Structure 1
């Protein structure tokens, strides 16, 4: 079972953090969300205070989440909010288990592009330079959008375990082709019937918008320009409002079609 923080009462919201981070990455948002919701912030496998043990594939990480919720919150399907890695885990989870809605924050499902990024970094990730490579990556992802205080807080909580990073990025499976990877993610989206909102801090472009809304019958995409990889921390009040709106629109159903304003 995963380590978790449990705060508040009401309809269930589950928060899933990004790579190398942990549940405390959500700390600025937990209190405001918990005024009207029960909020579970989880440490994914290999992160925080949860088990550090392979495998680290997305199905295993999603099943960890399900096993934990089965014990601590079996009464209702969750609204899943995942950032970066957490957004991918939330997507896989929603393709396998009932959810009220999914909010995927800044996790592109264009695996072909991500594959190229990993391949470019791989030589440094396999050497003593891997910490510098990850520092550079996160600096680029932040894009100067976070406050100095918030950026420093995230740096302090990140933990770079090379085996975990390489396992999650599937370095042993990099032979898969771009078309195969994108077909896989399209299949995941096609299996999700609950409202699915992809939130980006920079515009992924019209081609990606068209692809994700075509692949997912319930998928919509929203862009908050200038927020970089952490729109939820750059504009926390706006983010809390958006989560509440999504929760209200989703209600308690895990199978209904999304409302018109979420249908893309």
Structure 2
């Protein structure tokens, strides 16, 4: 039975989250290199007109670790959070990187719970369907996570996936947001990324969708975003100049403008 059909969950059954504002619900799912704290710029821009909610996925922030949670279970967990918050109307869903992958799964499995979808710096499939070995990548990444102190891992990741020229202040904010992760949470995110594949499902997904990508994203390049936009019916693609993988942090003004335009187009 879907979690969305269960009775109202208790606080212990939902991930930690923050919220601000009133209006149509706008839900944010962070990347592996982030947490609920990653969306401060979007909260500041959007909370005047929307009820903004950002979660900490399992193993991040105050959310308990659940290292072997499947992608299906992650999508059900998002719906469980909506139920706990009393949100019955369809919510706008925004996801970055692995958060964008979870958002895709949510849109495919629970389309009735969402008004629209925004996917930032993500992909429809690990490696965009290339010959890349996802198991090998995951094993290497997990070995690195196990061997590296979390603060060092976070600093090195944020610096490696953002575009050159990012200010020291923005870099520090990104590292601080990601540093709320635990090793089980980082391993979970790694496994979710490696196993992700919505290629066959997305053509039947009819939610209004905006795909955003940084021009210089080294992790999920523009070609990945183009494929997403081609797979999803009537999706809109926005490429953010001079930006890497953490577009909402690196170019918040441009991302917020694109998000506002999308929300205006999809207003009910």
TM class by smaller structure: 0.7 to 0.9
Matched, 1:139 2:154: no
CA offset at residue 80 of structure 1? 0.6
Determine the structure 1 residue equivalent to 2:172.
Answer: 152
Determine the structure 2 residue equivalent to 1:35.
Answer: 48
CA distance in 2 between counterparts of 1:74 and 1:142 reads: 34
Determine the structure 2 residue equivalent to 1:188.
Answer: 201
Q: Please say if residues 212 and 238 of structure 2, whose CA atoms lie closer than 8 Å, have aligned partners that are also in contact.
A: yes
1:84-163 alignment runs, 5 A limit: 84-97=97-110, 98=112, 99-112=114-127, 113=132, 115=134, 117-128=137-148, 132=152, 135-159=155-179, 160-163=181-184
Matched, 1:220 2:241: no
CA offset at residue 109 of structure 1? 2.5
**Aligned alpha-carbon RMSD (Å):** 2.7
Matched, 1:58 2:74: no
CA offset at residue 53 of structure 1? 2.4
CA distance in 2 between counterparts of 1:15 and 1:42 reads: 7
Determine the structure 1 residue equivalent to 2:258.
Answer: 242
3-state SS of the aligned residue for 1:222? strand
CA distance in 2 between counterparts of 1:100 and 1:27 reads: 22
Instruction: Please list every run of 5 or more consecutive structure 2 residues that lacks an aligned counterpart in the other structure.
Output: 1-13
Aligned residue pair count: 243
CA offset at residue 72 of structure 1? 1.0
What TM-score, normalized to structure 1?
0.80
Q: Please say if residues 28 and 55 of structure 2, whose CA atoms lie closer than 8 Å, have aligned partners that are also in contact.
A: yes
Cα 1:40–1:200 shift into 2, 3 Å: same
CA offset at residue 55 of structure 1? 3.0
Q: Please say if residues 186 and 216 of structure 1, whose CA atoms lie closer than 8 Å, have aligned partners that are also in contact.
A: no
Cα 1:105–1:73 shift into 2, 3 Å: farther
CA offset at residue 93 of structure 1? 0.6
CA distance in 2 between counterparts of 1:167 and 1:61 reads: 11
CA distance in 1 between counterparts of 2:41 and 2:133 reads: 28
Matched, 1:77 2:98: no
3-state SS of the aligned residue for 1:61? helix
Q: Deviations over 1:206-248 (max 9, x none)?
A: 5x45533342224333211321012222222222222121112
Instruction: Please list every run of 5 or more consecutive structure 1 residues that lacks an aligned counterpart in the other structure.
Output: 253-264
Q: Please say if residues 213 and 239 of structure 2, whose CA atoms lie closer than 8 Å, have aligned partners that are also in contact.
A: yes
Q: Which 4+ residue blocks in structure 1 deviate beyond 6 angstroms?
A: none
CA distance in 1 between counterparts of 2:37 and 2:133 reads: 26
Q: Please say if residues 56 and 168 of structure 1, whose CA atoms lie closer than 8 Å, have aligned partners that are also in contact.
A: no
